[in-house]
Structure 1
């Protein structure tokens, strides 16, 4: 496919920088971006006449596809349930019983076809999925992702202790062999955009022997790693009881050799400063899941603190702890949490006049803004999953994972500004206002088309 898009284009180049092209173009050939620039530069494009031309309207713009760094595909039927419980209570009452049902491949097919469809419809071009311990249904999820054209990492969950008898692996060797079977099944598909990922559920449900063997598999097959860390205070205390020889939660994963520059750990709400230094040194990233952290009362992850410590951060829906399947909802939740933290950090402590700096990384706090959450949802997510060389923005050579956004349709167009208030604004100012409206108000109705590696999947 050779296609060139003309119109408004927005993408992040760093945490604090957006590139805005109000009258630009992006050229795509064989699924990859060959050129981007101002429309005036189009004439110098080699073989420009070979491209199919697509003209965006003045209410439309292109945005890189959203990246969900942490989502539990089998938990979607539970969305909205059990959110009056804490993390460990929610797991035992709702999560484990549901995941045990995925022995039923027909049930898995019904759920997973909908999950992939709905995530794509909401703009998720790449998802990092937790599956279950059952390979028959894990293969159903992988096949469905391939069929629908999404980019993804798919993880066979590993859990050999501290789970219910009806939902636990029979032993370390069996877990390792099941991982090998799933890895080799998915690698045999030879689909570059869909990869297996090593997935110990978390340190409580995996012993050190299993985690070390999973780390060896990651090296043997050159795979990414995903798990959870420091989601709730109760979880952190439990990890200390299971691993008393380790100084902190991060040291557990580090001892197992799981913390690498291709490892993403969800939550990171209660990380100590010393742990952030381990993250930065290893290149390990955090998947920020604000909806889940709020729903389960886990705490508020300070993204600005992580960023100051040079820790990579992306966003995760964390369904079904999170009650929204769309990353645009998570962007809003990330903004909410950041503003709540801003208030907390600047209020007096019992009238003493002292503020609440709890870390050397957050003394000068400024909350996130809407431009920065676009980064977290796109380029930041790509960096967190170690695929920023492939996707995340519209730099030439990357694959064209993109969203065509239209701000002229509901809900963004419900209330229109009077023409008088639009006068004397530059094209860039107006484009930024369109983006801001989408971040705060938009939904899947404003996402007209979704592209993955140049192919239209919505």
Structure 2
């Protein structure tokens, strides 16, 4: 029988495949020496659990009355080097923002020491904000990208690291590679990462997006991912201007999705950021390939790119998680992504409701002008109902997207995402009564209401501890 390393007692809140939110009070959870969950049982049988698993009851780590555990949050799309200019240049649309702010800054990461300092800051900041897993874009610089992988591993963060690939850049010509160089350096990158045998850091094939990649580069990257069974990340259908440029550059393809799909870059290990303008036909391809979407609502709004209809994508059974998309998104916290996802859903609902009201008013006016014999059964039964009824995203669903949904999107739901026995213990201890907490707690508030307040009002001050694979990584050890 596996030896028990840690035993925790208190309230646990997570999502399962059966429900978006499950609140489990007065339970005990035990982990082994490698951080896997051995048992998750009612605390009423504490003595029996102690005898069965051989742990000393005096070593149980019990939470405070209003504290609770939740799974670590999963950022499915974040640009680590862009933290350099987070909150700057947000007045420009996407393509202008890339040209004037992003590419010039990322180009400076040829300086490995600059990269080391910034990546140290980024990993610490994301962990403090409860991001136990991050899917990072780095830059085109291989050595600096390796530094990001080293940094994530040093701090114990679970991460996918992508050395960016781009052999086409007319807007800022300094920042690009040749096709041959991009493939060669990508191979070197994942070979170095594989040789380091990190516990929880993996490489991910990263064509920046179709605009910055030749068809030849996309094709070679797809074959590389297929040969080595690697994860893939990129961007898709983020803004109308971007889609227009993709049509110009790839006239032989029917749509944006097909550009990736025909080049073997749309697989069950693919996560594509944004997807604001994906058609239902494209969403069906995503579902068939098992590819996922990273919903980045802050960035979509901040760069005036568009809105992703999450409900429609979920109805198409497309895997989905949340992304901060720093620095297109101006917050590094997934709590912000949760809030913006809910707000975006409400905006879509209001816009659709207004459109339906306008259509109904037009129909009513037309009916008023009809002669009696021109009114048919359909018009007599009242305004026509639209087929695309929209339900607002609930806070429970947004919580699921930030945790279990994100793990499914990255293909690691067998490892993390909730507190199922056999998974690794990635968790946050939330303290609603932390010093200087941004919200107050009343004694009569239930755990569900406590969670809602944290999701809507909380911040890193409420995150007391962060665990990755059973190891407490926040607070940071004094030597880091």
Q: Same fold (TM over 0.5)?
A: yes
Q: In the TM superposition, what is the alpha-carbon distance from 1:168 to its structure 2 partner?
A: 0.6
2:430 aligned residue (390, 393, 405): 405
Residue 352 of structure 1: SS of its match in structure 2? helix
2:265 aligned residue (258, 262, 285): 258
Distance 2:26 2:174 in 1: 58
Counterpart in the other structure of 2:467? 451
Residue 388 of structure 1: SS of its match in structure 2? coil
2:274 aligned residue (257, 267, 273): 267
Counterpart in the other structure of 1:5? 8
Counterpart in the other structure of 1:224? 231
Distance 2:243 2:348 in 1: 21
Instruction: State whether residues 412 and 438 of structure 1, in contact with CA within 8 Å, keep that contact through their aligned partners in structure 2.
Output: no
1:222-281 deviations in Å (ceiling 9; x for gaps): 210000000001101111111111111001100101100000000000001100000000
Distance 2:95 2:6 in 1: 49
Q: Are 1:371 and 2:379 an aligned pair?
A: no
Instruction: State whether residues 74 and 112 of structure 1, in contact with CA within 8 Å, keep that contact through their aligned partners in structure 2.
Output: yes
Q: Are 1:391 and 2:416 an aligned pair?
A: yes
Residue 383 of structure 1: SS of its match in structure 2? helix
1:128 aligned residue (112, 126, 135): 135
Counterpart in the other structure of 2:174? 166
Distance 1:328 1:15 in 2: 23
Counterpart in the other structure of 2:455? 439
Q: Are 1:47 and 2:53 an aligned pair?
A: yes
Measured at CA, do residues 141 and 354 of structure 1 come closer, stay the same or move farther in structure 2, by a change above 3 Å? farther
2:17 aligned residue (10, 14, 26): 14
Distance 2:308 2:438 in 1: 33
Distance 1:349 1:315 in 2: 29
Distance 1:449 1:15 in 2: 28
Distance 2:386 2:47 in 1: 48
Counterpart in the other structure of 1:36? 40
Structure 2: gaps spanning 5 or more residues:
363-384, 475-480
Instruction: State whether residues 102 and 108 of structure 1, in contact with CA within 8 Å, keep that contact through their aligned partners in structure 2.
Output: yes
Q: In the TM superposition, what is the alpha-carbon distance from 1:362 to its structure 2 partner?
A: 7.3
Instruction: State whether residues 15 and 376 of structure 1, in contact with CA within 8 Å, keep that contact through their aligned partners in structure 2.
Output: no
TM superposition score normalised by structure 1? 0.94
Structure 1: gaps spanning 5 or more residues:
423-428
1:191-250 deviations in Å (ceiling 9; x for gaps): 131000000000111111111111111122221000000000110111111111111100
Distance 2:407 2:214 in 1: 30
2:283 aligned residue (276, 283, 294): 276
Q: Are 1:149 and 2:149 an aligned pair?
A: no
1:21-44 deviations in Å (ceiling 9; x for gaps): 111111111200011122124344
Q: In the TM superposition, what is the alpha-carbon distance from 1:310 to its structure 2 partner?
A: 0.4
Distance 2:85 2:419 in 1: 36
